[in-house]
């Protein structure tokens, strides 16, 4: 899958970070969204989460991780026009909620 990028300033832990958001593919199928540091291109975080249903989704959809270090990123990605919440949620074995999004970049 071709890597598509958008530039974003993510706010985390009272700090702001300039990142590139990249659309990639998980090795076992499905689309992944990852963020890289905009200055040195090092990994910043994985925005999406792979679950069994991920491999069956259209290429323009993925499940977004919304817990732990990714808390608040869904809202930031929506505000920047990078994703759109499709209203479907899946709760994993640990009680954490993944949100189905359409990737707009």
> For residue 1, what pLDDT is reported?
47
Domains held by the chain: number:
1
Residues 30-52: b if buried by 16+ CB within 10 A, e if exposed = bbbbbbbebeeeeebbbbbbbee
Instruction: Supply the range of the domain harboring residue 52.
Output: 4-103
pLDDT in tens, the chain (105 residues): 446 578 889 988 888 999 999 999 999 889 999 999 999 989 999 999 998 888 899 999 999 999 998 999 999 999 999 999 999 999 988 889 999 999 998
| Entry pTM | 0.89
Structure-block tokens of residue 90? 């899946």
């Amino acid at each position: 899958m071709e890597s598509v990028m958008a530039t974003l300033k993510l706010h985390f832990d009272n700090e702001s970070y300039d990142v590139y958001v990249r659309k990639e593919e998980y090795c076992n199928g499905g689309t992944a969204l990852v963020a890289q540091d905009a200055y040195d291109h090092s990994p910043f975080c994985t925005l999406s989460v792979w679950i069994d249903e991920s491999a069956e989704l259209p290429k323009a959809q993925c499940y977004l991780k919304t817990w732990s270090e990714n808390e608040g990123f869904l809202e930031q990605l929506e505000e920047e026009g990078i994703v759109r919440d499709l209203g479907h949620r899946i709760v994993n074995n640990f009680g954490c909620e993944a949100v189905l999004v359409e990737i707009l970049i």
